[in-house]
Chains A and B, each alone.
Chain A
Amino acid sequence: MEKMIKLVFIAIALLTSTVNADDLILSTNIKVEYPSPVLIGHISGSLVIKYKDWSFSHNDLDPKTFYHRVDLTGIENEFIKSMFDPKHQSKLPEWITHISGKIAEGMGNDPDSTLSRKLGKAHIYGGYSSKMKQGQVFIIDELTIHNIAISGDKEKFTSLVNNIKER
């Protein structure tokens, strides 16, 4: 009987410690697999996922308000690309690339963490700053740009980025 009770306790402990992954569907093409959080919040069109020692948020980038007083509508894709890949700067006016360059500089991303890869028809850009312990990802999708902000260790950033997948 005692052995039986022990086995039940072990089974409960194993079940509760299992990390379950859920899917966050971003579009018909893209999803993010994320471990079960301690809290999910929704505020002003943004989704916030919180864990014990890290968090991330998602929202669609609004080109009208991304950078105050400059409506980036129509050039938002090139603007985001130019923040991570200098060759895209030539496609934009100089004063716009000045802004994108300053924003990129302010991110303080580690040189080895800059991310640029294709995901089906979409393209993922991003980077992580070890100094600030935070990172940011932009997914240029067919119809929108997804903006994911991550606060936490680099390992969490890398794990989340690797879990951005095609559906």
Chain B
Amino acid sequence: MNLHERQDLKDFLVSLYGPQVNKWLMNEKIFNLTYELVALSGKCSGMMDFVPRPMPYGVSPMRYLKKELRGMFLRSISKNKDQYILCVKGAAGAMAAKFKLAALGA
């Protein structure tokens, strides 16, 4: 991820998990979990446009998505976070353990 993509991802996750995210390193695992979260939630119109289905099992979304699509996905979730947060917040709460482990590089 380039600098802009990392910032877009962080913007979205700060809205979702609060200011603690400012201390998280935006890495591939964090991106993949964010993508998984959106796919799991499955109800956010607009967000789902960037979730190709079916994705091969075990594939890293970060590597599977073309660079342009990845950038569009991140720009969209950052720009429209106020609209999207409510539909992913429920699933995100229980995924917190996974996100925190990913932020620790574990």
Chain A residues proximal to chain B, CB less than 8 Å:
39, 41, 43-46, 48-50, 55-57, 59, 62, 65-69, 99, 102-108, 129, 131-132, 134-136, 147, 149-151
Beta-carbon contact of A149 and B91 below 8 Å = no
B55 at the interface (CB under 8 A from A): no
| Total count of chain B residues near the partner, CB < 8 A | 33
B60 within 8 A of A: no
What CA separation (Å) do A134 and B37 show in the bound complex? 12
B24, A68: Cβ atoms under 8 Å?
A: no
Given A43-B23, A57-B100, A66-B18, A129:B94 Cβ within 8 A: yes
Known contacts A66-B18, A104-B90, A106-B88; is A43 also within 8 Å of B98 by CB?
A: no
Contact B89 A46 (CB under 8 A): no
B91 touches A107 (CB 8 A): yes
Give chain B residues whose Cβ lies under 8 Å from the Cβ of A55.
97-98, 101
Per DSSP, are chain B's interface residues mostly helix, strand or loop, or mixed?
helix
**A50 to B16 CA separation, bound complex (whole angstroms):** 22
Does B106 belong to the interface (CB within 8 Å)?
A: yes
Q: Which residues of A contact B93 (CB under 8 A)?
A: 103, 107, 136, 147, 149
A102 to chain B, nearest CB (A): 5
Partner of B91, one of A39, A44, A67, A132: A132
CB-based closest 4 A-B pairs = A106-B90, A44-B20, A65-B18, A57-B97
Give the residues in chain B near A129, CB-CB below 8 Å: 91, 94
